[in-house]
Copies of this chain bind each other. A is one copy, B any other.
Amino acid sequence: MSRFEHDTAVTRTGDGRYQATIDDGWAVIDGAAANGGYLMALAARAMRDPLDHPDPVTLTAHYLVPPEPGAAEIDVEVVRRGRRHANVAASIVQDGRERVRLLGVFGDLAQISGPTRIDRPPLTLPPLEDCVDTTTQALERAQAGGVPPPPIFQRFAHRQPADQMGWAEGRPTGRGEIGGYVRWPDGTPMDTLGVLVVADCYPPAVFNTGDSRLGWVPTLELTVQLRARPNPAGYLATRFETTAVSGGYLEEDGEIRDADGTLIALSRQLALIAR
């Protein structure tokens, strides 16, 4: 069992009720709240358990109260079972307090058929071999006395264009963007639950604007729409962009493709610049 599978494992304890453990290795700040994409994948594993539909097709999470590392309960409600799709709601609960509410459509992305027409340009990433292993780079900097990377950053093997993480050292690109190539470091095949974590696996794209007023950027809502199962081997290619900060609210739009260039997912979150 891979690290990802282990840390998102759920055990059915009753009708529509699951037990899970929120692992502290997926935090965005050491000792702080778990990453929103990780929480989404954890809930999705419970949400699909009662279904014949293995893949999230669209999944929305509303983050209510930051969860703590440790035991959590996931309550799953199958709202509608159809032939092609099932609609499911879920709640992550700790100490009787709801932390995350989710609403999703599940289907079988191995069975899709229908028109295909992609009018989006390919992601403009440099070749993989020209990118930087930013996980190793961040760990080396931490060993040399720098700020350690967020725990979740170490859960992935990253390859990024050299300019994408420069904001952490005072060299932002000047645009609200972040991205690169990403896969599980232990070679675990990437599946559609893993894609949910990838949709939220980077520091906020808005950090690359270089706006010095920015601090914590908590997510209010994250929606991931999946189109295909990824080629399980190779890296996913990603791009996340923030183009509209207004009144402290911002969107972050993501596009995820697999090693074959197939569109795997579009994501969008609404986040708030904490005051």
Q: Are A57 and B220 in contact (CB under 8 A)?
A: yes
Determine whether A62 belongs to the interface, using a CB cutoff of 8 Å to chain B: yes
A209 to B116 Cα, complex, angstroms? 12
- Residue numbers of A with Cβ under 8 A of B are 57-58, 60, 62, 64-65, 79-80, 85, 87, 89, 98, 101, 103, 105, 109, 112-120, 175-176, 209, 211, 213-214, 220-221, 223, 225, 227-228, 242-249, 251, 263, 266, 268, 270, 272-273, 275
Q: Are B245 and A118 in contact (CB under 8 A)?
A: yes
Look across to chain B and name the residue whose beta carbon is closest to the beta carbon of A119. B243
Min CB–CB distance A209 → chain B (angstroms): 7
Question: A60-B60, A223-B60 given as contacts; is B103 within 8 A of A213 (CB)?
Answer: no
Question: A80-B64, A80-B65 given as contacts; is B247 within 8 A of A227 (CB)?
Answer: yes
Q: Are B247 and A113 in contact (CB under 8 A)?
A: yes
B residues less than 8 Å from A64 (CB atoms): 79-80, 87
